């Protein structure tokens, strides 16, 4: 085999090797792109699935709260109303001393009925939808103060604007969950809620002066509540931050675009 033939063979072999190498490289990058696209699609599908699950849970909870609200207002409320009416009738046919006791009992039933009606309103999503976020929070603050367990206050900064019904309901539920936790567990004396309206952004802060808790403790009762808050907030694109430490109270911050 001559020198020219050997050089030609080497050249052909080199070209074939280069073509194979380029083909392998192209195939590798093509495979990587397909793999990346597949993983991204899987992730998007999982995110949509998680969002739908969270949304479904939220809708189920709202429906359950609405049912409870109706039960309280229509059934329990009516029973207490009947009891109060019967006491009023009975009051006319007993001695004066007993009338005073019956009157006191009637007053207690009347106050209980007012509390139940207020609770029913705060649970019903339709009430929040009709009254709006500010009035719904105001009613909740008033209810807390009537309980005389905690001193609650509400401050509004700047000119309020209206958000979508979904956002207002979810923001109210997040705040309501925090406030209920403060009532149940914090042993706080004060609860201060502030709504700051800034152009197209609403910032909500809720602060109690209770015993606080270790936020890193996964066994803490607030863990599930915090997950619920963040899951609800994710549905409307709200940023949620919860800060607490032992004997330093607890602070909730919510930031939501209009």
Query: pTM here?
Result: 0.65
SS3 content of the chain, % helix, strand, coil (to 5): 70, 15, 15
Take residue 251 and report the two structure tokens written for it: 């602070």
Rounded CA gap, 226 and 242, in Å?
A: 8
Beta strands in the chain (DSSP E): 151-157, 190-198, 201-208, 239-244, 250-257
Rounded CA gap, 250 and 150, in Å?
A: 14
The residue extents of the domains of the chain are 66-123, 137-258
Q: Tens place of pLDDT for every residue, the chain, 258 residues?
A: 566 777 777 777 888 888 888 888 888 888 888 777 777 777 777 666 666 566 656 666 666 666 676 677 667 777 777 777 777 777 777 777 777 777 878 888 887 777 777 777 777 777 777 888 999 899 889 888 888 888 999 999 999 998 988 889 889 989 988 988 888 888 889 999 999 999 889 999 999 998 888 766 655 555 556 677 888 888 888 999 988 888 888 999 999 998
pLDDT at 155 (0 to 100) = 95
Rounded CA gap, 237 and 162, in Å?
A: 16
82 neighbors 109 (Cβ within 8 angstroms): no
Domain 137-258 is found in CATH 3.30.565.10: yes
């Amino acid at each position: 085999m001559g020198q020219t033939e050997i050089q030609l063979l080497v050249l052909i072999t080199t070209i074939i090797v280069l073509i194979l190498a380029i083909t392998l490289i192209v195939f590798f990058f093509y495979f990587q792109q397909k793999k990346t696209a597949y993983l991204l699609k899987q992730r998007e599908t999982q995110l949509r699935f998680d969002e739908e699950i969270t949304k479904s849970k939220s809708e189920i909870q709202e429906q359950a709260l609405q049912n409870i609200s109706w039960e309280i207002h229509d059934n329990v409320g009516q029973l207490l109303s009947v009891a109060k009416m019967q006491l009023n009738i009975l009051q006319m046919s007993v001695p004066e001393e007993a009338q005073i006791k019956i009157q006191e009992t009637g007053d207690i039933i009347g106050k209980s009925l007012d509390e139940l009606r207020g609770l029913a309103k705060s649970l019903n999503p339709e009430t929040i939808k009709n009254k709006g976020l500010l009035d719904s929070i105001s009613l909740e603050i008033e209810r807390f103060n009537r309980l005389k367990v905690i001193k609650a206050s509400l401050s509004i900064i700047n000119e309020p604007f209206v958000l979508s019904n979904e956002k207002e309901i979810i923001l109210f539920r997040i705040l309501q969950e925090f406030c209920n936790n403060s009532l149940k567990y914090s042993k706080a004396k004060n609860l201060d809620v502030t709504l700051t309206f800034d152009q197209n952004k609403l910032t909500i802060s809720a602060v109690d002066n209770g015993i606080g808790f270790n936020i890193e403790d996964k066994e803490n009762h607030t863990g599930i509540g915090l997950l619920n808050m963040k899951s609800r907030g994710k549905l409307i694109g709200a940023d949620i931050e919860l800060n607490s430490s032992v004997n330093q109270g607890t602070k909730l911050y919510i930031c939501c675009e209009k």
